[in-house]
Amino acid sequence: MRRLPFYIGMVVVVLNIIILPLYKFCLYVAASDLLICSSAGSADMGVLEPSLLETT
């Protein structure tokens, strides 16, 4: 049981290596979609942010 934190740490590191690039890529795609769909400024981004969080 003493090695359990080590395994949990390894899993977290692997998940970070795999998920973070995917998350950044999804954010980039979502941001570009928002820029294409709405030519308004950062006010619309603030309004649309909660709906983006709900869909993930």
| Phi/psi at 47 (5° precision) | -75, -40
Residue 42's pLDDT is 47
Q: Where are the domains of the chain?
A: 4-55
26, 56 contact by CB (below 8 A): yes
3-state secondary structure (DSSP) of residue 55: helix
Residue 41's pLDDT is 47
Residue 36's pLDDT is 67
Query: Rounded mean pLDDT of 35-47?
Result: 54
